[in-house]
């Protein structure tokens, strides 16, 4: 390195002399030199990085020329940085980092930031014999230091304050600056960037704007990103939440309510019972509650930084465990068409009452109604279907209890009297020396009592609903009457039937039911006899007459 740099000194001064001459003619040179745009100095690579090397190429000239002179900053002797003689390959430079290649390119090693600037090269164009000056710009970039983020407001209030964040970087040669919010690019109406991107303003901040924010600085050779910056946005309190939400408690329970409201910084809490301040904690605990703890419980939350407060109510009801109610009726043994009044007695005031019939909830019909807070149930025009078991049930939010069942009997009848067998006409034929069992059926409660009459005379042998003729004889023919009565309802009912004893079966099938058809088959004589008998019977019945056909 040393020997080549020593030798050129004489040559260098020779050229300096020449250049001196040239500088005298500088005005002329400015006017006449090929200051063409076609020749320029181009850095390769386009940017220099501190510590690396770069080549400043002369573009647009392939001419052979005896020498190249390089300047930095301006074309003047004091700004000359390198002189290169092509024929000898001699370089004259005060800066050991510089070198010039045979095509005139300037090579700078170990670049520093101060190498940034305008570079000029001059050489003689052999064809035109003019001195050509070419110019180019070299930018040298160093590694960027880590930027930092600062904020105009350390605790902005939600929906009120605007915040400006500034990205500060010690390095000047930042060519590009970008922001990241939660790892993505800033977006939205409320975000404003300054022209150079250094300042990011968030208008009317919300709690979602807390970030983290990062800014990234770049130049062609380096990238650096700030540490994440989080905004401490103050907000709330939001409407508090009270847990548990259960509003009903039994007497003696411990009432424990907890309140929370979203807030930054955390809210201050106050509990009020029916408007009266009670405790200044988020938790409220009342052991062994009694009925008078029923009321409105309010949690109030406040935030001293935002100056806001918010509250929430819960209505708490304390109830006793429902005790068993008593059911009574003014009678449990009633006659149809009568009126029944049930009363449900309970020691709890204002408790809900439900009525049950035969174990299922009673759905009221037009004869039934409730009164006196459902404590009484009235049934008008009682029917036999109303017989059964009645209960009442008391309800409050925490419990229910059911009375013992009350059995109600309904007395009715007798009615719907019917004989079995049941002939189409009111006559039954019995074959001589056979038997007949006649049953009289009624609907009645309590069960009816019976009396049988034959030809109008009571037969005391038969006192229930069955009359038996064994081994029928001619004398057994006649009019038979069944009389049924109910001592409780004091109602009675009677029905007649004619029994005819015949020699033999007059018709196929049943000897008991074929009366009318038999009449047709037997013929005119028998028919006349029958009609005669009927007329006889009718006249007899009119005298005994309890029943009408
Ligand atoms: C760079 O240039 C400035 C003036 O332009 C000078 O003060 C500084 O010392 C130089 N730095 C180096 C490392 O040469
Ligand atoms: C946010 O700011 C508030 C108000 O200055 C302060 O009380 C709170 O401690 C801050 N929170 C954090 C996490 O710095
Ligand atoms: C900020 O936003 C809130 C809710 O979005 C709005 O009510 C309020 O008027 C806004 N304030 C300003 C200054 O824009
Ligand atoms: C500013 O940032 C945006 C992206 O947020 C980017 O497109 C733009 O080029 C940046 N401008 C400057 C000067 O860094
Ligand atoms: C609530 O009732 C209890 C008894 O059940 C009584 O000791 C207490 O004084 C009452 N409290 C209020 C505020 O009325
Ligand atoms: C109903 O009352 C009558 C008297 O009025 C009584 O003879 C009868 O036994 C009672 N029935 C029942 C089921 O209690
Ligand atoms: C109830 O009334 C109906 C008609 O209103 C009557 O037929 C019936 O016999 C009555 N029952 C009693 C038990 O009085
Ligand atoms: C039950 O009470 C009602 C009303 O007091 C009355 O009308 C009804 O006759 C009573 N019923 C009996 C069976 O006593
Ligand atoms: C229900 O009846 C029982 C016994 O007859 C009595 O001890 C109790 O006090 C009654 N309860 C009500 C609520 O009337
Ligand atoms: C009860 O029966 C009587 C007579 O049969 C009738 O006039 C009345 O409207 C009935 N009442 C109800 C509630 O059905
Ligand atoms: C109710 O129960 C009684 C027996 O307790 C029964 O005789 C009656 O038929 C039942 N009534 C209805 C409508 O189910
Ligand atoms: C009923 O009267 C009829 C004629 O009056 C007679 O033939 C018949 O034997 C009588 N029956 C009885 C059982 O008395």
326-411 domain in CATH 2.60.40.10?
yes
Whether the predicted pLDDT of 36 surpasses 70: no
Q: Indicate the pLDDT class of residue 130, thresholds 50, 70 and 90.
A: confident
Handedness of CA 20, 26, 29, 35 (dihedral sign): positive
Calculate mean pLDDT across residues 424-438: 92
**Ligand 7 site, residue 337, Cβ cutoff 6 A:** yes
Ligand nearest to the CA of 457: 12
427 CA to centre of ligand 3 in angstroms: 102
**Ligand 2 probe mutation, 234, 302, 306, most atoms within 8 A of CB:** 234
Whether the predicted pLDDT of 9 surpasses 80: no
- Crossing angle of helices 515-522 and 524-544, rounded to 10°: 140
Which regions of the chain carry the CATH code 2.60.40.10? 9-141, 148-225, 241-319, 326-411, 418-502
283 CA to centre of ligand 2 in angstroms: 23
Give kind and range of the element (H or E) at residue 181.
strand 176-181
Cα maximum dimension of the chain: 182
Tokens for 6, please give them.
């020593």
pLDDT above 70 as % of the chain: 85
**Ligand 6 site, residue 333, Cβ cutoff 6 A:** yes
**Distance, CA of 373 to CA of 352 (rounded, Å):** 8
CATH superfamily of the 241-319 domain: Immunoglobulins (2.60.40.10)
What mean pLDDT is reported for the chain? 85
**Ligand 6 site, residue 335, Cβ cutoff 6 A:** no
Of 34-48, 224-238, 344-358, minimum mean pLDDT range: 34-48
What region, left, alpha or beta, does residue 203 occupy, with left being phi > 0 and alpha being psi -120 to 50 degrees? beta
pTM of the complete model: 0.60
Of 325-339, 345-359, 471-485, 529-543, minimum mean pLDDT range: 529-543
Q: Between 503 and 506, where is the model more confident?
A: 503
Handedness of CA 527, 533, 537, 539 (dihedral sign): positive
Closest C-alpha to ligand 11, atom 13: 385
- Topology of the domain covering 9-141: Immunoglobulin-like (2.60.40)
Model pLDDT for residues 178-194, shown as the tens digit of each residue: 999 988 888 889 999 99
The CATH number assigned to the domain with range 418-502 reads: 2.60.40.10
Q: Which pLDDT does position 145 carry in this prediction?
A: 87
Let me know: does 408 contact 387? Beta carbons within 8 Å.
Answer: yes
CATH number assigned to the domain with residue range 148-225, chosen from the 4 options 2.60.40.10, 2.30.40.10, 3.40.1710.10, 3.40.50.2300: 2.60.40.10
Q: Which pLDDT does position 182 carry in this prediction?
A: 87
Whether the predicted pLDDT of 19 surpasses 70: no
């Amino acid at each position: 390195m040393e020997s080549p740099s020593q030798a050129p000194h004489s040559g260098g001064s020779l050229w300096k002399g020449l250049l001196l001459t040239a500088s005298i003619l500088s005005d002329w040179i400015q006017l006449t030199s090929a200051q063409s745009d076609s020749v320029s100095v181009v850095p390769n690579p386009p940017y220099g990085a501190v510590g690396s090397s770069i080549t400043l190429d002369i573009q647009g000239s392939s001419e052979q020329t005896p020498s190249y002179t390089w300047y930095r900053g301006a074309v003047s002797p004091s700004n000359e940085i390198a002189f290169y003689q092509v024929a000898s390959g001699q370089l004259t430079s005060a800066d050991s980092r510089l070198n010039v290649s045979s095509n005139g390119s300037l090579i700078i090693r170990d670049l520093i930031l101060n190498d940034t600037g305008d570079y000029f090269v001059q050489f003689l164009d052999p064809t035109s014999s003019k001195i050509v000056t070419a110019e180019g710009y070299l930018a040298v970039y160093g590694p960027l230091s880590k930027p930092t983020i600062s904020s105009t407001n350390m605790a902005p209030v939600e929906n009120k304050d605007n915040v400006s964040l500034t990205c500060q970087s010690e390095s000047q040669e930042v060519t590009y600056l970008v922001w990241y919010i939660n790892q993505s690019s800033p977006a939205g109406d409320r975000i404003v960037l300054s022209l150079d991107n250094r300042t990011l303003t968030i208008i009317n901040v919300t709690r979602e704007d807390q970030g983290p924010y990062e800014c990234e600085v770049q130049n062609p050779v380096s990238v650096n990103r700030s540490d994440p910056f989080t905004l401490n946005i103050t907000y709330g309190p939001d409407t508090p939440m009270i847990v548990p939400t259960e509003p009903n408690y039994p007497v003696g329970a411990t009432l424990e309510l907890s309140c929370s409201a979203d807030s930054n910084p955390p809210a201050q809490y106050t509990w009020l019972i029916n408007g009266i301040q009670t405790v200044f904690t988020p938790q409220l605990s009342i052991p062994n509650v009694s009925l008078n703890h029923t009321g409105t419980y309010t949690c109030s939350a406040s935030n001293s930084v935002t100056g806001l407060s918010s509250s929430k109510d819960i209505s708490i009801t304390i109830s006793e465990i429902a005790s068993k109610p008593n059911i009574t009726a003014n009678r449990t043994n009633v006659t149809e068409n009568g009126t029944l009044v049930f009363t449900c007695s309970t020691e709890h005031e204002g408790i809900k009452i439900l009525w049950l019939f035969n174990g299922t909830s009673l759905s009221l019909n037009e004869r039934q109604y409730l009164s006196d807070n459902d404590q009484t149930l009235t049934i008008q025009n009682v029917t036999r279907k109303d017989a059964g078991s009645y209960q009442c049930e008391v309800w409050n939010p925490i419990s229910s209890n059911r009375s013992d069942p009350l059995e109600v009997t309904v007395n009715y009848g007798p009615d719907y009297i019917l004989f079995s067998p049941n002939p189409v006409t009111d006559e039954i034929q019995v074959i001589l020396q056979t038997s007949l069992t006649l049953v009289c059926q009624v609907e009645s409660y309590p069960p009816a009592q019976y009396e049988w009459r034959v030809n109008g005379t009571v037969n005391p042998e038969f006192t229930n609903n069955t009359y038996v003729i064994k081994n029928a004889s001619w004398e057994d023919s006649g009019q038979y009457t069944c009389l049924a009565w109910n001592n409780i309802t004091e109602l009675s009912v009677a029905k007649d039937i004619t029994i005819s004893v015949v020699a033999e079966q007059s018709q196929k099938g049943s000897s008991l039911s074929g009366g009318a058809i038999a009449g047709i088959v037997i013929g005119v004589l028998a028919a006349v006899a029958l009609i005669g008998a009927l007329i006889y019977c009718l006249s007899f019945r009119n005298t005994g007459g309890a029943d009408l056909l």
